[in-house]
Amino acid sequence: MKRIFSYPRLGAYLIQVSLQKTIAKNVRALRIGRGMRQSDIAVLTDLPRTYISHLEKGEVNVTVETIERIALALKVNPLILLIDEAFQSIT
């Protein structure tokens, strides 16, 4: 089997960063698409507005619980937050 990354830890880091950016992009797009402010999401999720801001910039590692809370606030399936934009267009 061919390895994609010669440094396994670096590969895991790149996948994590990519997923953080995907979640960030999706949360922001869905929030704006629903006419919501970061403070609206903060109130609905009981998270600080600054955390939502950092999340939308891809600066924080989100937990599964946080993904579920944000998905509930946005009224979407949590999986939607994890799917890259290119893939969403074919689903």
Residue 74 class from Cβ within 10 Å (0-12 exposed, 13-18 middle, 19+ buried)? buried
Task: Encode pLDDT of 24-44 as tens digits.
Answer: 999 999 999 999 999 999 999
* Euclidean distance between CA atoms 41 and 23, whole angstroms: 15
The whole-chain average pLDDT of the chain stands at 84
CA 50 centroid distance within chain: 15
* Token pair of 17 as six digits: 């960063």
Residue 49 has pLDDT above 60, yes or no: yes
